[in-house]
Structure 1
Amino acid sequence: MSTYAVSLPATIGGGCFAFLLGRFLATGKRAATGEFSGQAQSLIGAVLLSSFILLTGFQVAGSWSALSDARSSTYDEARALADTYWAVGGLAPADRAKVRTLLRTYTDDVRTVEFPVLSHGGTSPTAWQDLDAVRAAVRTAPASGAGPQAAKIAAQSALDTVYRTRTDRAAQVKGRMPAATWIAMLVAGAFLIAFPALLGLTVTARHLTALCFVGAAVAFAICLAAQLNAPFQRPFGVRPTAFALADARYAQIDAERSGGSTAPPR
Structure 2
Amino acid sequence: MYIVSVVSVIGGIAFAFVLGKLFGKGHRAASGEFSGQALSLIGGVLLSSFIMLTGFQVAGSWSALSTARARTYDEARALTDTYWAAGGLPDTNRTKVRALLKQYTREVRTVEFPVLAKGHTSPEAWQTLDQARAALSTTSTTRPDQQTAKAAAQSSLATVYQTRTDRAAQVQSGMPLITWLALVVAGGFLIAFPAILGLIDKPRNLVGLCFVGAAVAFAICLTAQLNHAFRQPFAVRPTAFSFAEARFQQMDS
Give the TM bin, normalised by the shorter chain. Answer: over 0.9
- Output aligned runs, 1:33-72, within 5 Å: 33-72=31-70
| Identity fraction in percent | 66
User: Which residue is equivalent to 2:190?
Assistant: 192
Separation in structure 1 between the aligned mates of residue 103 and residue 244 of structure 2, nearest angstrom: 12
User: Which residue is equivalent to 1:240?
Assistant: 238
What CA deviation, in whole Å up to 9, does each residue of 1:156-214 have, x standing for no partner? 00001000000000111111101111000000000111111111123322111111111
TM-score of the two chains, using structure 2 as the length reference: 0.98
Range that drifts further, 24-33 or 136-145: 24-33
Is 2:28 the partner of 1:30? yes
Is 2:84 the partner of 1:89? no
Separation in structure 1 between the aligned mates of residue 160 and residue 45 of structure 2, nearest angstrom: 48
Deviation at 1:37, TM superposition (A): 2.5
Q: List alignment gaps of at least 5 residues for structure 2.
A: none
User: Which residue is equivalent to 1:250?
Assistant: 248
TM-score of the two chains, using structure 1 as the length reference: 0.93
- Output aligned runs, 1:10-159, within 5 Å: 10-159=8-157
Range that drifts further, 191-200 or 29-38: 29-38
Deviation at 1:227, TM superposition (A): 0.4
Deviation at 1:13, TM superposition (A): 1.4
User: Which residue is equivalent to 1:258?
Assistant: none
Instruction: Return the letter of the residue paired with 2:8.
Output: A
Secondary structure of the equivalent of 1:90? coil
User: Which residue is equivalent to 2:171?
Assistant: 173
Secondary structure of the equivalent of 2:111? helix
Separation in structure 2 between the aligned mates of residue 56 and residue 15 of structure 1, nearest angstrom: 21
Secondary structure of the equivalent of 2:165? helix
Separation in structure 2 between the aligned mates of residue 50 and residue 33 of structure 1, nearest angstrom: 27
Deviation at 1:113, TM superposition (A): 0.9
Deviation at 1:20, TM superposition (A): 2.2
Instruction: Return the letter of the residue paired with 1:43.
Output: L
What CA deviation, in whole Å up to 9, does each residue of 1:117-164 have, x standing for no partner? 111111111111110000000111111101111110010000010000
Instruction: Return the letter of the residue paired with 1:220.
Output: F
8 Å CA contact 2:58, 2:223 repeated in 1: yes
Deviation at 1:9, TM superposition (A): 1.1
1:210 to 205, 208, 211: 208
Separation in structure 2 between the aligned mates of residue 120 and residue 24 of structure 1, nearest angstrom: 52
Deviation at 1:217, TM superposition (A): 0.7
Separation in structure 2 between the aligned mates of residue 23 and residue 43 of structure 1, nearest angstrom: 19
Deviation >6 Å, runs of 4+: none
What CA deviation, in whole Å up to 9, does each residue of 1:96-115 have, x standing for no partner? 11111100110011111111
Deviation at 1:24, TM superposition (A): 3.2
Separation in structure 1 between the aligned mates of residue 19 and residue 148 of structure 2, nearest angstrom: 75
Q: List alignment gaps of at least 5 residues for structure 1.
A: 256-266
Instruction: Return the letter of the residue paired with 2:104.
Output: Y
What CA deviation, in whole Å up to 9, does each residue of 1:229-266 have, x standing for no partner? 000011101011111111000000001xxxxxxxxxxx
